[in-house]
Amino acid sequence: MERIGDGSSADISHPSTTEFGGEVPSVSSNLFLDHVGEVVLNLNSDGLSWKPVGTTHNDMSECTCLGIKLTSKVETKIKFSNIYAVELINGGLVHKAVLPNSGGCLLGRGSKMYRFVVHGVQRSKTNCSLWVLATCTFGHTDLQTCQVWINRINDSINKEVGRPKNLLIFVNPLSGKGKGRRTWETVAPIFSRAKVKTKVTVTDRAGHAFDVMASITDEELNSYNGVVVVGGDGFFNEILNGLLSSRHKAPYPPAPTDFVHLAENNNNVYDANDTIPETPLQNERDPLLESSGPSRPGFSTCRTEACADQDSIFPFPNENFSLGIIPAGSTDAIVICTTGARDPVTSALDIVLGKRVCLDIAQVVIWRKTSSSRGAPSVRYAASFAGYGFFGDVIKESENYRWMGPIRYDFAGTKVFLEHRSYEAEIKFLEAKTENENQIHEKDIQRSWTRSLWNPPKKSRRLACCVNCSVCSGSIKSICTPSEGPIKTDDTSEALRWLQSKGRFLSVGAAVISCRNERAPDGLVADAHLADGFLHLVLIKECPRALYLWHLTQVARKGGEPLNFKFVEHHKTKAFMFTSIGDTSVWNLDGELFEAHQLSAQVFQGLISLFAVGPGV
Ligand SMILES: Nc1ncnc2c1ncn2[C@@H]1O[C@H](COP(=O)(O)OP(=O)(O)OP(=O)(O)O)[C@@H](O)[C@H]1O
């Protein structure tokens, strides 16, 4: 064991074992810990541990430190994986111990010390999804001793893999009733403390971030470890599309054999198995989006020449590049699904600590905006949800009440619910391996449900996504494995079979993830996972308003069973094609609106890496 210090502090004992699995500590010295007194601080390969001089472990169970009450001896250690910064602070007094029996010599009044702060995190005691900051101030009369400790700790945390060093940040100042900038100011010190370089862009219009992401060269993008969005789901969607639109090369989603798309202007026949063309697909502006800003794009594409000419050096998935979200929006479903909380500090800490999960992404191809349009197809990406009918109408209506802030969704939702509109459509979807099993299971439940309306149905088997989710990690071996998609139509080993649902629908939804949010605590589809490689189609057939209300109340209830109704179909699928018949609603993609008379969608498993740990249960 190596000792740091000039011997001015009290003698240290030489523990033969430590808190870390019996390993002998490599470094140890006596320091003064704020609010505790003199401690023996040990550093070994896992982290730091400390013990007040002259106390036993049992005494430690009552000690107060880190600005919080420590309730057990296990909290007298912190792993390097939970430390994000260490810094020297101005000399000053180290406060006396709060424990009368902390032992050792306490500093007398007026004794000056050099001090350094270890910035760490720990899980909240009341909500296991939340990180709380845990700071620990150590002092010593010798500056050199402090400096050696700082260097040692820094060396160790620099060895932690996957921590970002350089990030591109986009702040939407208008998110969630104008709280984007304030949210960034709250968490910015975490990034500077962790010595993460940030290039911050506060957007000045809708589409600004999309333009930057679409036009930035791959070379410049590669100089960053990721892009962090300070805003809501819609803003994240904008950046996701800016990132992928010009870089993600993949065929269109598979389509039923009878599908042909003839584009009028150039007589091009688009085959669903074509790779998406490199040239801009569509430069029309989406009239639905006009009201939101003067130059908001319909997410066509705006690649600059500089970018268009080069071969992509930006693979997906990309283990060196992750997206991050610091929630500041009105819904923040993606953050809630990926962190289990809606807390800017937790998200910022996940980012600086380099925690990552893989995220499925849906590619949506709009073949026809209206029944008569014959333009070339255009492509968008979604991270959480694509919804039509009720979901589209609510977002469209809510745009008129943006000034209300998040409450606009409740207001618009009530209005649209009372109108009770349904839309005729045909949905063809690929049969998933488990589909038969699901259908049988769901039919059983539906039968029992309709037989006895007053008895609650048997709970369906649910396996919600969680931290270290076995479904997601079973599907994706590591974040650097290539994604499974696209789905191949010529895959003879397992013939693709198309199933169909046709009729009048109150809504058609495809959830990529569970879409948990404050109005739907289990999400729209409770057992949709972050990276299960499936789209979860939820088709709500026309039904009496009272039953639809019943369904909605189940969505809004923790432990509710919104899928267990006769008029609700739930299908896990890899791809689907939607065609409207007659009147059309609008589509809502991660909260963003667009028109589509006909579209197809497929999922890319684990396409994106996101700074998060997954939801606590
Ligand atoms: N400076 C800006 N001015 C106007 N609109 C902007 C600006 N920057 C981004 N936007 C657009 O604002 C829209 C909504 O943003 P965001 O998703 O952050 O907030 P929200 O709608 O309040 O939250 P949520 O999507 O979670 O419901 C996005 O589509 C984004 O393109």
User: In terms of domains, do 151 and 206 share one?
Assistant: no
Range of the domain at 7: 2-158
Distance separating alpha carbons of residues 49 and 153, to the nearest angstrom: 12
- In this predicted structure, what is the pLDDT of residue 591? 87
Atom nearest to 333 CA in ligand 1: 26
User: In terms of domains, do 186 and 148 share one?
Assistant: no
Task: For residue 165, tell me if it sits in a domain.
Answer: no
Ligand 1 pocket member 174 (CB < 6 A): yes
How is the chain split among helix, strand and coil, in percent rounded to 5?
Answer: 25, 30, 45
Classified as helix, coil or strand, 545 is: helix
CA of 31 relative to ligand 1 center, distance in Å: 49
- In this predicted structure, what is the pLDDT of residue 519? 86
Task: For residue 168, tell me if it sits in a domain.
Answer: no
Residue among 171, 174, 385 to mutate when testing ligand 1 (max atoms within 8 A of CB): 174
Task: For residue 490, tell me if it sits in a domain.
Answer: yes
User: In terms of domains, do 97 and 231 share one?
Assistant: no
Ligand 1 pocket member 173 (CB < 6 A): yes
User: In terms of domains, do 431 and 580 share one?
Assistant: yes
User: In terms of domains, do 131 and 210 share one?
Assistant: no
Ligand 1 pocket member 293 (CB < 6 A): yes
- In this predicted structure, what is the pLDDT of residue 343? 96
Task: For residue 553, tell me if it sits in a domain.
Answer: yes
CA of 232 relative to ligand 1 center, distance in Å: 6
Ligand 1 pocket member 605 (CB < 6 A): no
User: In terms of domains, do 191 and 123 share one?
Assistant: no
Residue identifier of the C-alpha nearest atom 16 of ligand 1: 232
Residue identifier of the C-alpha nearest atom 10 of ligand 1: 206
Q: Rounded to 5 degrees, what angle do the CA atoms 177, 181, 183 make?
A: 85
Task: For residue 34, tell me if it sits in a domain.
Answer: yes
Task: For residue 229, tell me if it sits in a domain.
Answer: yes
Classified as helix, coil or strand, 447 is: helix
User: In terms of domains, do 589 and 452 share one?
Assistant: yes
User: In terms of domains, do 137 and 220 share one?
Assistant: no
Identify the active-site residue in 34, 233, 522, 590.
Answer: 233
Amino acid letter for position 139: G
Ligand 1 pocket member 233 (CB < 6 A): yes
> Which parts of the chain have pLDDT scores under 50?
1-2, 5-25, 60-75, 98-110, 277-310, 435-457, 477-485, 489-493
Distance separating alpha carbons of residues 207 and 244, to the nearest angstrom: 15
CA of 399 relative to ligand 1 center, distance in Å: 11
The answer to whether 343 is a known catalytic residue is no
Residue identifier of the C-alpha nearest atom 2 of ligand 1: 205
CA of 1 relative to ligand 1 center, distance in Å: 55
User: In terms of domains, do 517 and 549 share one?
Assistant: yes
Task: For residue 370, tell me if it sits in a domain.
Answer: yes
Ligand 1 pocket member 591 (CB < 6 A): yes
Note whether 230 and 328 are within 8 A (CB).
yes
- In this predicted structure, what is the pLDDT of residue 314? 82
Ligand 1 pocket member 329 (CB < 6 A): yes
**C-alpha dihedral (445, 458, 531, 519), degrees to nearest 10:** 100
Ligand 1 pocket member 475 (CB < 6 A): no
- In this predicted structure, what is the pLDDT of residue 272? 55
Q: Per residue in 149-167, is it b (16+ CB within 10 Å) or e — as a string?
A: bbebbeebbeeeeebbeeb
Residue among 210, 235, 404 to mutate when testing ligand 1 (max atoms within 8 A of CB): 235
Beta strands in 376-478 (DSSP E): 378-382, 385-389, 423-430
Ligand 1 pocket member 204 (CB < 6 A): yes
Domain boundary among 97, 124, 158: 158
Task: For residue 445, tell me if it sits in a domain.
Answer: yes
Domain count across the chain: 2
Pick from 561, 560, 565: nearest CA to 548: 565
CA of 429 relative to ligand 1 center, distance in Å: 32
Beta strands 261-262 and 47-52: pairing type?
unpaired
Within 10 Å of residue 559's Cβ, how many Cβ atoms?
Answer: 10
ipTM score of complex: 0.97
Ligand 1 pocket member 399 (CB < 6 A): no
CA of 334 relative to ligand 1 center, distance in Å: 14
Q: Rounded to 5 degrees, what angle do the CA atoms 276, 281, 282 make?
A: 155
Ligand 1 pocket member 297 (CB < 6 A): no
CA of 293 relative to ligand 1 center, distance in Å: 10
- In this predicted structure, what is the pLDDT of residue 263? 58
User: In terms of domains, do 196 and 142 share one?
Assistant: no
Beta strands 322-327 and 226-231: pairing type?
parallel
Amino acid letter for position 521: P
- In this predicted structure, what is the pLDDT of residue 362? 97
How do residues 355-413 score in pLDDT, each as one tens digit? 999 999 999 999 998 888 877 899 999 999 999 999 999 989 988 887 887 788 889 99
Residue among 170, 175, 228 to mutate when testing ligand 1 (max atoms within 8 A of CB): 175
Domain boundary among 158, 193, 220: 158
Atom nearest to 591 CA in ligand 1: 25
Give the CATH number of the domain where residue 134 resides: 2.30.29.30
Structural element, H or E, at residue 344: helix 344-352
CA of 180 relative to ligand 1 center, distance in Å: 9
CA of 536 relative to ligand 1 center, distance in Å: 26
- In this predicted structure, what is the pLDDT of residue 366? 94
Note whether 420 and 506 are within 8 A (CB).
yes
Give the CATH number of the domain where residue 467 resides: 2.60.200.40
Q: What is the pTM of this model?
A: 0.82
- In this predicted structure, what is the pLDDT of residue 160? 93
Ligand 1 pocket member 343 (CB < 6 A): no
Within 10 Å of residue 127's Cβ, how many Cβ atoms?
Answer: 14
User: In terms of domains, do 99 and 146 share one?
Assistant: yes
User: In terms of domains, do 186 and 144 share one?
Assistant: no
